[in-house]
Amino acid sequence: MKTLNTPLAFAAASLSALLATGSAVAAPATYYATLTGAAEASPNSSAGIGGTVVTFDMTAHLLTIDLSFVGLEGTSTASHIHCCTAAPGIDTAGVATETPTFSTFPTGVSGGLFSMMYDTTLPASWNPAFITANGGTTAGAEAAFSAGLASGSAYLNIHSTLYPGGEIRGFLAAVPEPGQWGMLLMGLPAVLALARRRRDQDGQF
């Protein structure tokens, strides 16, 4: 596990690396998101930013999460995937994945890297309430989670000391066609650069 005290170049390289890894995965259910304060259910002005690639392979029963974030105004307290909102891309939903946070997720920091693979046949990989709400089995949880991802009704949230309800979040969307990956990889570092510039103008580091 690495913690970012980072120069911008390292943060951008980290995001590009994890996104490139996600694009190489052959499994059909691969999703990505850019995490911002503006995307929270109650939008905030945080200069924090993050990027994630989530791959869910229902055949192998594996959920893989790669996440990079930088510039939180609070320090991290938890992260998880919520599912499923009533409408794609808006509103809130309960936590679907491991609680109270992803195991080994870096807490007490303003930026970091996280990578984890979960066996989704194990109840411990899920929020018990999500299993209960979906037939009481991990198979039911898998089916509901897969449907939520596919419909754009699942989001990854990072909570912090300053924003307990969530400082940055992003709804997970299907990975673009291969020809669009270049634009995505160029775009995220640019967003990071803007966030870093804003933070520096505000006298923060």
Residue 39 in any domain: the answer is: yes
Are the beta carbons of 51 and 65 closer than 8 angstroms? no
Domain total of the chain: 1
pTM: 0.77
Give the tens place of pLDDT for each residue, 127-136: 999 999 999 9
Q: Which pLDDT score is estimated for 87?
A: 94
Residue 3 in any domain: the answer is: no
Which alpha helices (DSSP H) does the chain contain, by range? 8-24, 128-133, 138-151, 181-201
Range of the domain at 53: 8-200
pLDDT along the chain (205 residues), means of 10: 41 47 54 95 95 92 93 97 96 97 96 94 98 98 97 98 97 73 48 49 46
Phi, psi of 49 (to 5 degrees): -150, 150
Residue 2 in any domain: the answer is: no
